[in-house]
Amino acid sequence: MSVRQPLPERLRPTVLEGFVGQTHLTQRIEALLRANRLPSLLLFGPPGCGKSTLALLLAKARSANVLRLSAPEAGLQHLRKQLHGVDILVLDELHRFSKAQQDFFLPLLESGDITMLATTTENPSFSVTRQLLSRLHVLRLRPLGRAELLELGRRGAVAQEVQIEDDVLDLLASMSHGDARTMLNLLEYVAALPEDKRDIEGVRSAMPEIVSRHDKDGDNHYELASALIKSIRGSDPDAALYYLACLLEGGEDPRFVCRRLILSASEDVGLADPQALPLAVACMQAVEYVGMPEGFIPMAQTTVHLALARKSNSTYAAYINAARELKTQGRKGVPLHLRNPSTRLQKEWGYGKGYRYPHSYPEGWIEQEYLPEGLEDRRFYAPRENGEEPRLSAWWRKLQRQRPPRRGSGE
């Protein structure tokens, strides 16, 4: 094998015994190899966890007629010609195919003419069509653990014919975030340093700036965003700032972060602090106006404000309750007195008859029914006792005491 090849490619194993990681799949892989026919698979996991390597090992263990392609380079017309005589197709980055392009594989898999071993870094529930996903067995791969990365590092040091201390390998493993390719690329960089620079201090000073890997299109994108929102919801400004930094320093689109903050301001803070939503919208406008990198300043302010604010999801829960009523009971007709009589015929039908205009009465309110027939006693909104919501709902509560009690949506 040529030494001009990158170290990750040179160390790619040719037999399953040399594969590192994914021990949780060992029994399933063994079962696949014992089966009469290898089923079509989708290997899903973060970059550098061994998806393509495992797919190639499985393919070559079952057939000599294997074709490996990456979705970005595989035009469908070109692919049709290349598939002639192929038993197993190893297709990297399946998510790069459009939904329409993915349909190309349906008849091939349905007929059994070809076995496809595809890989993706994106959650297949969102990136692969339901029809194609139903024809694939999904194997979920995990990031490599530190011990597994250290094992790869030692193999890489032997291949590079250099001595690298364990503390340096441990540093490289911590920088790799479970990514074998990153680990071996970093090791190759260190191996090229002068021997007196390969100790821990020399490596620290010589190492290029490493930013935590953040895959904007993969699961990490959603995991960090989820952690940010849950930290705000849990009123932990330190954790919220940490995940905000993870997103922004990892290259996340600030507009995506602003959208998350706006949703959190409405869903989690809500009426407990009615200024939270306009603040989050103003944050989005400020980021658009000042741009990055300074845009982190209003985002940090908004994140801390949302985390410190009192919380109420009463309006979010109220909508969910109303939507549940529609799904379970169907939509009921609008009461006639609430309908606008746009035509003479509608007026004859009783549209608008008996409607009382609230502004014509003291306090701008008069008792009348607004819910459809059959729902008169239903209540979807339940105010919380946090922040500003008791003040905002005080007058409404006073009005409710003048009306017959309604059943809550959970009853």
Q: Which residues pair with 90 in a beta bridge?
A: 68, 117
Specify the pLDDT at position 211. 41
The rounded average pLDDT for each run of 10 residues, N- to C-terminus, in the chain (411 residues) is 75 90 91 88 91 92 84 72 85 85 87 89 86 92 92 92 90 86 90 86 72 50 87 92 88 87 95 94 92 90 94 92 86 87 88 89 83 83 84 80 62 45
Where do the DSSP E strands lie in 93-176? Answer: 115-120, 137-140
Q: For residue 277, give the nearest of 253, 293, 261 by alpha carbon.
A: 261
Crossing angle of helices 237-249/219-233, nearest 10°? 160
> What distance in Å separates the CA atoms of residue 35 and residue 32, rounded to the nearest whole number?
5
SS3 387: coil
Tell me what pLDDT residue 157 has.
92
Tokens of 60: 């070559």
* Closest CA relative to residue 54, chosen from 9, 24, 16: 16
Which residue, 211, 217, 170, 180, is CA-closest to 54? 180
Instruction: Provide the sign of the torsion angle of the four alpha carbons 83, 86, 92, 98, taken in this order.
Output: positive
Q: What are phi and psi of 261, to 5 degrees?
A: -65, -40
Distance between CA atoms of 302 and 356, rounded to whole angstroms? 43
Q: In angstroms, rounded to a whole number, what is the distance separating the alpha carbons of residues 101 and 113?
A: 18
To 5 degrees, how large is the angle CA 315–CA 319–CA 320? 115
H or E element at residue 379? strand 378-379
Tokens representing 5 are: 């090849």
| Per-residue pLDDT at 301 | 95
Q: For residue 346, give every residue at least 6 positions away whose Cβ sits within 8 Å of its Cβ, in sequence order, or none.
A: 339, 340
